[in-house]
Amino acid sequence: MSIHLLPPEIASQIAAGEVVERPASVVKELLENALDAGATHIQISIEGGGQRLVEVADNGSGILADELALATARHATSKLSTAEDLFQIRTLGFRGEALASIGSVSRFTLTSRPLKAATGMRLRVEGGKMGAPEPVGAPVGTVVRVEDLFFNVPARLKFLKTESTERRQIDTLVTHYALAYPQVRFELRQEGRLSLQTTGSGNRREILAALHGIEIARGMLEVLSDEDGIQVTGFTSPTSLTRSNRREITFFVNGRPVQDSALTTAVLQAYHTLLMVGRFPLGTFFISLDPAAVDVNVHPTKAEVRFRDASRVFSAVQRAVRRALLAHTPVPGLDSTQLRWSSPSVWQGEPPPVDLSWGMASAEPQGWGAEQVAASAAAGADKAPDTAHQPAAGRIGVPLLRLVGQVASTYLVAEGPDGLYLIDQHAAHERVLFERFMAQRQSVGAGGELPSQILLQPAAVDLPAASARLLESQLPILRSLGFQVESFGQATFLVRAIPVLLSGMDPAAALRVLVEDFEEDETPLQAEVESRVIARVCKRAAVKAGQTLSPEEQRALLAELEASTSPRTCPHGRPTMIHLAVDVLERQFGRKGAR
Ligand code: ADP
Ligand code: MG
């Protein structure tokens, strides 16, 4: 092949590859632009893990109408004009490459309205081909929409990680920026769900909770030092809190997230002899110093920096962290007597056992949990037992929860934006199964049969005579639910198939539960019997208290619960979760009023 200049489209795709590696890099560049524009409110929407859509809307300075096209050109920037400027960088961007790069590998729409302009302007770029700017109504600020990332670079598309990996990456990225800019209000929506929201109050610890969970965020030690022209602030973990790797140690230099193994080492040295071998602290550190003392132009994604005097920065970080550690003597361990919650308003007696059968509303454990979600849900939906079997009219959802773990092999612990949630795994699973059943029921329609799974070996079940009669009368309902059961002699039944939703369940147990304490004179409407039967089966099929779940199982259960229509109660009306509001925790720890 002879030597030739590459066509501009290919050249720009190659260049784009350096800046835009994955959806998270798009989010990063757009966030940096919004921050550089002085935005105080930034809204981010992500769909398809960012591949289908990344939209960043800000209320910053906007772009002048006649500069819109220029903004999307390569090497076009308003942040730099002379070569010397390169060593005095006070903005996050300066390379003038992001918009051009993104525009060349996506369907890109830039809408902007500067403060003084009467209307906004919109410009589309598709795979690097620019349309004509057109006026549109728009609020002051800028909205960048990036759709179908890499639609014209199929090879890149193949290298993308799964959507959930990208989502997590984006969550972490945005949370990091939110931490670095606590005066800015951030709103991140992933697939239509709010996944991060900050108040812009300037309180970093509040945002730290989104990153590590509230408990950890509260326990983190504050780092605050300013010496020798180098300011180090942030949070570092107490020695009682460690990780098995160093991935949760992050740095920002002059507001820019950077990776720097030397800085990590500085932090580790501060913990020298305080941690066990193989354990690492976590922390977030903000380093501010004269821009002239940092070269930020060493990496296309600006992820690395070079310090003019690295050892000075290194020891400033090390000293700052060490000082924070020494200032906080370790928290003494609590013994079991201290662990009892003393306030009667919060914990009265033992919680009822999970498998308690839950017929009546009066059996509700009033007054034990700190704040029962079910109680707050009462106004809208399914709390009373007689309505519990119908799908709830109004959806009372739960916020996006972050799994913390399992306690006593019975409860899942999760963190929400407004505190801690304790979830009864059995009740939660009951709810999840129940809704799956009801959804299938609805999709097959009246008279239809739910899908069933044929058993390799039919199971014979003996029942007491009374139960056998009862079951006999229920056979049509069972059939419609996906059971294939036939009478086999006096009081014996043969189970040939069970509902697909119950696959794995012991067929005899599934059958027995249908007739156990079913009162003979119950002759309610068909639909009601069905949902009652379903509720009963789900109760039996659901994971039990005392059953250890793998982290994957815990997460799956939590996710399914979040997705259900009435996540807050089991089909029998029992609460699936207890909410401990941050407020309540604060009162318990005597923090309220103390600050
Ligand atoms: P850089 O940020 O390195 O200057 P970009 O390609 O990211 O390069 O952006 C090009 C220019 O477009 C910026 O210098 C800025 O003037 C303008 N711009 C981009 N995004 C925004 C925004 N959200 N608000 C205001 N101006 C913007
Ligand atoms: Mg930029």
Mean of per-residue pLDDT scores for the chain = 81
Which of 27, 28, 30, 33 for mutating ligand 1's site (highest number of atoms within 8 Å of CB)? 33
* pLDDT at 309 (0 to 100): 93
591 has a pLDDT exceeding 70:
yes
Cα dihedral 413, 416, 420, 422 in deg (nearest 10): -40
Give 489-524 pLDDT, tens digit per residue. 777 889 999 888 887 788 887 777 776 645 444 444
With a 6 A CB cut-off, is 77 part of the ligand 1 pocket?
Answer: yes
Residue 147 CA to ligand 2 centre (angstroms): 18
Q: Can you tell me the mean pLDDT for 150-177?
A: 90
Q: 288: how many CB neighbours lie within 10 A of its CB?
A: 15
pLDDT of the residue at 343: 30
Q: Give the pLDDT band of residue 525 (cuts 50, 70, 90).
A: very low
Ligand 1 pocket residue status of 99, Cβ below 6 Å: yes
101 lines ligand 1 (CB under 6 A): no
> What per-residue confidence (pLDDT) applies to 371?
33
Dist. CA 201–CA 199, nearest whole Å: 5
pLDDT at 381 > cutoff 70: no
Q: Are 187 and 42 in contact (CB under 8 A)?
A: yes
Which bound ligand lies closest to the C-alpha atom of 110? 1
* Beta carbon of 60 within 6 Å of any ligand 1 atom: yes
Bridge partners of 31, per DSSP, are none
- State the average pLDDT over residues 135-156: 95
C-alpha 62 – ligand 1 centre gap (Å): 9
Give the residue, out of 36, 101, 144, with the most ligand 1 atoms within 8 A of its beta carbon, to mutate for a pocket test: 36
Query: What pLDDT does 293 receive?
Result: 92
Ligand 1 contact via 300 beta carbon (within 6 Å):
no
What is the spatial distance between Cα 459 and Cα 455, in angstroms, rounded to a whole number?
A: 8
pLDDT tens digits, one per residue of 93-134 = 888 889 999 999 999 999 999 999 999 999 999 999 999 999
Residue nearest to atom 19 of ligand 1 (CA): 33
Q: Is the pLDDT of residue 301 over 80?
A: no
Answer yes or no: is pLDDT of 341 > 50: no
Distance 316 CA to ligand 2 centre (A): 30
Closest atom of ligand 1 relative to the 97 alpha carbon: 6
pLDDT at 527: 52
Mean local confidence (pLDDT), 170-188: 95
Write the DSSP assignment of 446-476 as a string of letters: TT----EEEEEEEEEEE--HHHHHHHHHHHH
pLDDT of residue 488: 82
Are the C-beta atoms of residues 392 and 567 closer than 8 Å to each other?
no
Name the more confident of 173 and 465: 173
Q: Verify whether ligand 1 is closer than 6 Å to residue 80 (CB atom).
A: no
Q: How much distance in Å is there from the Cα of 234 to the middle of ligand 2?
A: 25
pLDDT of residue 213: 82
Which one has a higher pLDDT value, 243 or 24? 24
d(CA 428, CA 433): 9
Whether 103 is in the pocket of ligand 1, judged by its Cβ within 6 Å, is no
Question: What is the whole-number distance in angstroms between the Cα of residue 23 and the centre of ligand 1?
Answer: 18
Predicted pLDDT of residue 220: 93
pLDDT (0 to 100) of residue 395: 43
pLDDT exceeds 60 at position 389: no
**pLDDT bucket at 390, cuts 50 / 70 / 90:** very low
Q: What is the pLDDT of residue 249?
A: 95
Residue 83: C-alpha distances to residues 80, 94, 309, 459, 559 (Å) = 8, 11, 21, 82, 52
Closest-approaching ligand to the CA atom of 142: 1
76 Cα to the center of ligand 2, angstroms = 10
Q: Is the CB of 30 under 6 A from ligand 1?
A: no
CB contact at 8 A, 50 and 24: yes
